[in-house]
A and B are shown apart, each in its own frame.
Chain A
Amino acid sequence: MPTEVSTREIYGKTLVELGKQNKDIIVLDADLSPSTMTRFFAPEFPDRFFDCGLEEQNMIGIAAGLAATGKIVFASTFAVFASCRCFDQLRMCLSHPRLNVKIVATHGGITVGEDGTSHHAIEDLALYCALPGFTVIVPADAIEAAQAVKVAADTYGPFYIRLSRPKTPLVYQENYRFTLGKAVTMRQGKDVTIIAMGIMVAKALEASDTLARQEIDCRVINMPTVKPLDEGVIVKAASETGAIVVAEEHLAHGGLGSRVAQVVTRERPVLMSFVNLKDTYALSGKPEELLQRYGLTAKDIEEAVRLVVKAKP
Chain B
Amino acid sequence: MKIFAVSPVDIGAIAGLQFNPQFMPNYIKVSPEGTPQANIFDFSVAELREMAKRLRRHVITMTATAGSGHPGGSLSAADIITALYFKVMRHNPKNPQWVHRDRFILSKGHAAPILYAALAESGYLPVPELSTLRRLDSRLQGHTDRNLTPGVEMSAGSLGMGLSFGIGVALAARLDSRDYHTYVLLSDGECDEGQTWEAALSAAHFKLDNLTAIVDYNKIQLSGWTRDIMNLEPFNQKWQAFGWHTIEIDGHDFSQILAALQEAQNTKNKPTVIVASTVKGKGVSFMENNVKFHGKAPTAEEAEKALRELE
User: Footprint of B on A, CB under 8 Å?
Assistant: 26, 47-48, 50, 52-53, 55, 57-71, 73, 88-89, 91-93, 96-98
Contacts and interface: CB of A to CB of B under 8 A. Distances in A.
B156 interface: yes
Given A62-B164, A93-B161, A50 B171 contact: yes
A58 B176 contact: no
Given A59-B164, A61-B164, A62-B164, 7 more contacts: A61-B161, A65-B167, A66-B169, A66-B172, A68-B168, A70-B172, A93-B161
B146 interface: yes
A98 B99 CA distance: 19
A55 B175 contact: no
Contacts of A47: 175
B155 A92 contact: yes
Contacts of B163: 61
Interface stretch (B30-38, B198-206, B290-298): B198-206
Contact of A68 (B154, B194, B206): B154
Contacts of B167: 58, 61-62, 65
B23 interface: no
Contact of B172 (A53, A60, A71, A91): A71
A97 B141 CA distance: 14
A208 B171 CA distance: 51
B153 interface: yes
Nearest to A58: B198
Contacts of A68: 146, 153-154, 165, 168-169
Contacts of B147: 96-98
Nearest to B160: A57
B96 interface: no
A296 B147 CA distance: 42
Contacts of A93: 155, 161, 164-165
A65 B202 contact: no
A96 B171 CA distance: 22
A91 B155 CA distance: 10
Given A88-B158, A92-B155, A97-B147, A57 B168 contact: no
B198 A65 contact: no
Interface string B167-183: 11111110110000000
A66 B171 contact: yes
Contact of A65 (B157, B158, B171, B201): B171
A47 B163 CA distance: 21
Given A48-B175, A67-B168, A62 B195 contact: no
Contacts of A66: 168-169, 171-172
B281 interface: no
Most buried by B among A69, A70, A89, A97: A69
B166 interface: yes
A59 B206 CA distance: 13
B201 A50 contact: no
A92 B175 contact: no
A57 B165 CA distance: 11
A72 to B, nearest CB: 12
Given A68-B154, A97-B147, A89 B161 contact: yes
- Chain B interface size range: 20 to 34
Nearest to A73: B168
Contact of B195 (A53, A58, A71, A73): A58
A77 to B, nearest CB: 14
Contacts of B201: 53, 55
Interface in B187-229: 194-195, 198-199, 201-202, 205-206
Given A61-B168, A65-B167, A92 B157 contact: yes
Contacts of A89: 161, 164, 195
B191 to A, nearest CB: 14
A69 B169 contact: yes
Nearest to A23: B175
A63 B199 CA distance: 12
B104 to A, nearest CB: 13
Contacts of B153: 68
A89 B194 CA distance: 13
21 contacts: A26-B175, A53-B201, A55-B198, A55-B199, A57-B161, A58-B164, A58-B199, A58-B202, A61-B163, A61-B199, A62-B167, A64-B154, A65-B168, A65-B172, A66-B172, A68-B154, A73-B168, A92-B155, A92-B161, A97-B145, A97-B146
A110 B176 CA distance: 41
Contacts of A97: 145-147, 154-155
Contacts of B166: 65
Nearest to A61: B164
Contacts of A69: 99, 168-169, 172-173, 176
Contacts of B195: 55, 57-58, 61, 89
Given A58-B199, A98-B147, A65 B169 contact: yes
Nearest to B143: A92
Contacts of B171: 50, 62, 65-66
Nearest to A101: B168
Most buried by A among B153, B157, B199: B199
A311 B91 CA distance: 68
B172 A57 contact: no
Nearest to B166: A65
A97 to B, nearest CB: 5
A57 B164 CA distance: 8
Nearest to A53: B202
